Amino acid sequence: MNVLAIDQGTSATKALVVSGTGEVLGSAERPVSPDARAGGAVEQDPEELLSSVLEAGRAALEASGATVGAIGLANQGETVLAWDPATGRPLTTAISWQDRRAIGVAERLAPHGARLTELTGLPLDPYFSAPKMTWLREELTTGGIVTTTDSWLVRQLAGVTVTDATTASRSLLLDLDRREWSEEACELFGLDLASLPEVVDCAGVVGESTAFGSMLPITGLAVDQQAALVGERCLQPGEAKCTFGTGAFLLVTAGSLPRRSSHGLSASVAWQVPGSVGYCLDGQSYTAGAAIGWLTRMGVLDAPEHLDAVASSVPDAGGLVLVPALAGLGAPWWRPAATGTIEGLGLHTEPAHLVRAMLEGLAAQVALLARAAADDLGRPLTTLRVDGGLTRSAVLMQHQADLLRIPVEVFSSPDATALGIAASARLGAGDRDGLDGSPLAPAARFEPIMPADEAAERLARFGGAARRAIEASEEGARG
């Protein structure tokens, strides 16, 4: 069966028509425009998100010339909005997962942080949905209902209000052990449990839509990073992937039982399909591709496609250590107010040193996350599969392998998320092969070449710089 797989992301919506064998028959992409402003605000226009889904989906179908039997939709995760459940009309903009204005909510609930982590598997941080939902209620509107964007999009497409278990597990409102909304968590955040969407499987018929022509069932739903985990077939405990998109998102499959991290990582649902549930540990750098965009806007880099040419024009970062906390620090530090820092500037510093230091800082963050995940699982990671636009940077991928001390395999498709949601949609439409299958052969493989002692020293330097960045931000807040 062919399916229409839609990946509604932070900066673009991609749509693929995928055959039953995983072949891409047609594709299309439409950009969307996050609006970042001072004070940590990052918002999106809900109608633009919906239009991008409709336009990309229809264009992919036209390009393929094929008929499809089902729709799968992946979403950007923790982005929320208020909307009228009777009409579907948005009552606010979409508050992006990158938005940091709910820091005050998280600080106010800090005494309950350990309990919330025990319940939900997530650290208390404004990155997740619930703090933003509470902030939205307190600052913008008390009308309508507040959900993540997936629920609103499905309501517009099919007239039903649901969310899937993976997206719900990114909210700080889901009891991770029961995979049901937690009354206790909702009370702590001052949110009405009764108004939350029904939590459904990632695979199964949730509604029908004529938005793309004939009536089609929506049979696959998932948050984007978990969909990519499935797309890259990281289905066994210890298998790991990292998506280098707007941010960098490391996910490690943890098995069929829920667990909690003792090293500052998040724990959430990796997939929930009929007869099977998986869990994962994850951590993130909030800015990866966004950091390269920042370098370009600042004039340090003339165009993103010249990234490697510039980075390779110098042998190293010239003594710079850059902490790319341009939107705060996520796991394992969870310091949303932290800001980026650069250490080691001198008269010798060239723009190329700054570019290379940014790539090395990104790789160091991911390496520290991977080390934390390995410690939690009690086993070393053996390979990291990677996807996303920044995997085109051989400089970044080589440095990532060097710091991790394991091979890095670049996924051969740029659309791991869409392929993952396609697999869920096929299963939800009755394909009994489920999520199983072998990963695609990698497009490239990077082996570590840096001496182990040098890699350890670089990680230690970055860790020290990150601690100093946190201390500086906290001192600034006190002052």
Residue 281 CB-density burial (10 A; 0-12 exposed, 13-18 middle, 19+ buried): buried
294 and 168 within one domain? no
Is 334 a domain residue?
Answer: yes
Mean pLDDT of all residues in 466-474: 91
Domain of 176, CATH number, reads: 3.30.420.40
Tally of domains within the chain = 2
State the chain's mean pLDDT as an integer.
95
Residue 121 lies in a domain: yes
- When pLDDT is cut at 50, 70 and 90, the band that residue 205 belongs to is very high
Of 417, 421, 426, 419, nearest to 69 by C-alpha is 426
Give pLDDT, residue 232.
94
What is the average per-residue pLDDT within 193-203? 98
pLDDT of residue 438: 65
Question: Do 60 and 166 share a domain, yes or no?
Answer: yes
Query: Which residue matches tokens 């990519």?
Result: 228
Q: Which of 232, 247, 273 corresponds to the end of one domain?
A: 232
Question: Whole-angstrom Cα distance, residue 96 to residue 79?
Answer: 4
Q: How far apart are CA 414 and CA 61, in angstroms?
A: 19
Based on the domain organization, do 185 and 66 belong to the same domain? yes
Tens digit of pLDDT for each residue in 329-371?
988 998 988 999 999 999 999 999 999 999 999 999 999 999 9
Q: Where does a domain end: 215, 232, 249?
A: 232
pTM > 0.85? yes
Residue 37 scores a pLDDT above 80 = yes
Residue 99: inside a domain, yes or no?
Answer: yes
What pLDDT shows up at residue 414? 87
pLDDT at 435: 76
Q: Is the same domain home to 16 and 141? A: yes
Question: Residue 479 CB: number of other CB atoms within 10 A?
Answer: 5
Q: Are residues 203 and 90 part of one domain?
A: yes
Tell me the mean pLDDT in the region 415-439: 86
Query: Is there a domain that residue 27 lies in?
Result: yes
Residues 203 and 301 in one domain: no
The pLDDT of 315-320, averaged and rounded, is 96
In a domain, 60, yes or no: yes
Residues 303 and 224 in one domain: no
Same domain, 324 and 206: no
Determine the average pLDDT of the residues in 251-276. 95
Inside any domain, residue 14:
yes
Residue 250 domain flag: no
pLDDT at 110 over 70: yes
Domain that holds residue 19: 3-232
Q: Which of 398, 420, 426, 422 is nearest to 410 (CA)?
A: 398
Name the DSSP class of 77. Answer: S
Domain identity same for 334 and 463 = yes
CA distance 202 to 164: 6
Model confidence band, residue 479 (pLDDT cutoffs 50, 70, 90): low
Tokens of 119: 């319940």
Domain shared by 51 and 118, yes or no: yes
Residues 206 and 297 in one domain: no
According to DSSP, residue 275 is labeled: T
For residue 434, the model assigns a pLDDT of 65
277 domain residue, yes or no: no
Q: What percent of the chain has pLDDT over 70?
A: 98
The span from the first CA to the last CA of the chain, in angstroms, equals 61
pLDDT mean over 463-478: 88
Closest C-alpha to 3, from 71, 74, 75, 73: 71
User: 346 and 224, same structural domain?
Assistant: no
